[in-house]
Chains A and B, each alone.
Chain A
Amino acid sequence: MSHTETYYEVMRRQGITRRSFLKFCSLTAAALGLGPEFAGTIAHAMENKPRTPVIWLHGLECTCCSESFIRSAHPLAKDVVLSMLSLDYDDTLMASAGHQAEACLEETIEKYKGNYILAVEGNPPLNEDGMYCIIGGKPFVEQLKHAAEHAKAVISWGSCASWGCVQAAAPNPTQATPVHKVILDKPVIKIPGCPPIAEVMSGVVTYMLTFDRLPALDRQGRPKMFYGQRIHDKCYRRPHFDAGQFVETWDDENARKGYCLYKVGCKGPTTYNACSTVRWNEGVSFPIGSGHGCIGCSEDGFWDKGSFYDRITDMTHYFGDQPSGVKQFGVEANADTVGMAAAGVVGGSIVAHIAASAIHRARKNPDKNEQPAETQGSND
């Protein structure tokens, strides 16, 4: 009987100790908001499940997603996840090159048809028949479609793959197009950010590989466990916003006091991401912690929304009446914003729903009591 390696076997082969393995499981459970009791579930899954191969493609991008991922805050997480992925194809990280590399890709697709996960960093440019991004002598869009055809699911790494990012900024000369607008017949999980947080990337991959299912997604296809809240909701400078204490100009007295950065352009109130909770560099800090406002890099079209230093003034999207052609931060990001202002009604069921959502968001580790087995992904 042929034997397919489990994740655990792959890790041991890579020299990772059992102690480190268990530590990784507990850290991952915490990062996923599942509670420490799920560390055992993750460990059991990784010890017994055959490894799921991952193909990692690169289109138009700057490789900041890979840079973030391989510098995953905890060195252990980096080692384990990289071992776990074993990256059957990643033209940045793999050892092979040229025709050998392309052969690896074909071999993986053939061998694991229907069972591999396709991770995409960057996006395909469609203008001029895709000639602005050539991989192995062919337009990237062809490689993307070919690899996606037999993939179990697709992960869009970063804002490039999720929304288009800077290469899709107006006038978008190459017609750079996000992955979900090219791959229409597979579930696409968006992990936006420029780059995404390393723990978010490794957390989502670990969840998918160990539990063999998609995490619960919001209406825009982002994992709720990491993109369910805005930066503003959990920002440590929030008491200053509430108290009307704002930085008026850079380096003024209020800046030195650590007041809210809204007036100098912080997009925290309209940006869905985990920066204010997970943070960066092993949880040390995030842009607001360093005295700079959030630039909203995980939101759709953030390059086309004016200067990073313009304060948010247009709130029309909250009324469901946004000017045509203008992409607003946070539009449709939260199903809760749909009903109340737009409908303008006072209804018991709407109030109950909004209240339940608010208390769920406010609660610490709101999903820790949810069994992953019951968490079904959706991509509506």
Chain B
Amino acid sequence: MSTPDPCIQVTELTALFQRVYQQRMQDMPMVNPALCVEAVGFRPWTDRCIGILITPWFMSLIALLPSDEGVSPPATDEKCHYQFPSGDYDFLVCYDEQFGLYHSCSLFSPMFDFPSQELAQQTALAVLDLLWQAPEGAQPAQAPRVEATGKLSRRQLLRGLRSEDKP
């Protein structure tokens, strides 16, 4: 059974946030009117689609999910752990009634650091370059991994410590 490419949702995602901008964010002081809603650099990764969404009030890494992966609202404070070549990231699980689930990791908000859309685009592309690169001096990249939420328990923490502490 083939799963539809989650990247086909990028247009829908952009339309969703354009609607949010028009309907809910007008006249909000947190909005930078020099910017507009734009999706940058979305590409497939494992079974999801990763890229950056620029809006006049935030810029975030976004993970779009396969359409068959859950449609119900997430639990409060639900997170998803992503392992990219550059390191580990926690994404918040977000939900829109029409769009469904997606994951988001904040980069900038508000967006007043960006006097132009061009600068926001360049920054987004630079962030994505860094996201897919291992940091200097880091261990070789491990296999990509996505883990559903869960805080590290004390027991897990202790187990990690003990296994490494054994002489």
Q: Of the listed stretches B1-9, B43-51, B63-71, B153-161, name the one at the interface; the rest are far from the partner chain.
A: B153-161
Most buried by A among B92, B95, B129, B151: B92
B105 near A: Cβ within 8 Å? yes
Contact of A312 among B29, B77, B131 (CB under 8 A): B29
Q: List residues of chain B with CB within 8 A of the CB of A103.
A: none
In the complex, chain B residues 103-161 whose Cβ is within 8 Å of any chain A Cβ: 104-110, 112-116, 118-119, 122-123, 126-127, 129-131, 135, 137-138, 151-152, 154, 157-158, 160-161
Q: List residues of chain A with CB within 8 A of the CB of B158.
A: 23, 26
Task: State A243–B113 Cα separation when bound (angstroms).
Answer: 20
Q: Of the listed stretches A113-121, A234-242, A296-304, name the one at the interface; the rest are far from the partner chain.
A: A234-242
Contact B165 A40 (CB under 8 A): yes
Contact of B30 among A269, A289, A319, A352 (CB under 8 A): A269
In the complex, chain A residues 329-368 whose Cβ is within 8 Å of any chain B Cβ: 336-337, 340-341, 344, 346, 351-352, 354-356, 358-359, 361-366
Complex: chain A residue closest to B79, CB-CB: A236
Task: State A236–B77 Cα separation when bound (angstroms).
Answer: 5
Q: List residues of chain A with CB within 8 A of the CB of B76.
A: 236, 258
Contact B86 A363 (CB under 8 A): yes
Known: A258-B76, A344-B115, A346-B119. A26 touches B161 (CB 8 A): yes
Task: State A244–B154 Cα separation when bound (angstroms).
Answer: 36
B96 near A: Cβ within 8 Å? yes
A82 near B: Cβ within 8 Å? no
Task: State A39–B76 Cα separation when bound (angstroms).
Answer: 31
Q: List residues of chain B with CB within 8 A of the CB of A312.
A: 29-30
- Interface size for B (C-beta < 8 A) is 60
Complex: chain A residue closest to B139, CB-CB: A369
Complex: chain A residue closest to B87, CB-CB: A363
Q: List residues of chain A with CB within 8 A of the CB of B24.
A: 243-246
Known: A245-B24, A369-B135. A39 touches B110 (CB 8 A): no
Known: A36-B164, A363-B86, A369-B135. A341 touches B20 (CB 8 A): no
Contact of A262 among B21, B30, B118 (CB under 8 A): B30
Contact B127 A355 (CB under 8 A): yes
Main secondary structure on B side of the interface with A: mixed
B88 near A: Cβ within 8 Å? yes
Q: List residues of chain B with CB within 8 A of the CB of A364.
A: 81, 87-90
Q: Mark A123-155, 1 if CB is under 8 A from B, else 0.
A: 000000000000000000000000000000000
Q: Mark B81-100, 1 if CB is under 8 A from A, else 0.
A: 10000111110111110000
Contact A315 B157 (CB under 8 A): no
Shortest CB-to-CB span from A239 to chain B, Å, is 4
In the complex, chain A residues 43-77 whose Cβ is within 8 Å of any chain B Cβ: none
Complex: chain B residue closest to A244, CB-CB: B24
A contact residues vs B (CB 8 Å cutoff): 22-23, 25-27, 30, 36-37, 39-40, 232-234, 236, 238-239, 241-246, 258, 262, 269, 283, 289, 311-315, 318-319, 336-337, 340-341, 344, 346, 351-352, 354-356, 358-359, 361-366, 369
A40-B161, A351-B123 known, 6 other contacts, Cβ within 8 Å: A26-B158, A232-B106, A238-B106, A314-B29, A358-B127, A362-B61
Q: Which 10 A-B pairs have the closest CB atoms?
A: A244-B24, A318-B112, A355-B126, A239-B94, A236-B77, A26-B161, A364-B88, A36-B160, A363-B87, A313-B29
Instruction: Supply 26 A–B pairs (Cβ within 8 Å), ascending by A.
Output: A30-B157, A233-B106, A236-B76, A236-B77, A238-B104, A239-B92, A239-B94, A239-B95, A239-B104, A241-B109, A242-B58, A242-B104, A243-B24, A244-B23, A244-B25, A258-B76, A311-B29, A314-B29, A319-B112, A346-B122, A356-B126, A358-B108, A359-B86, A359-B130, A364-B90, A369-B138
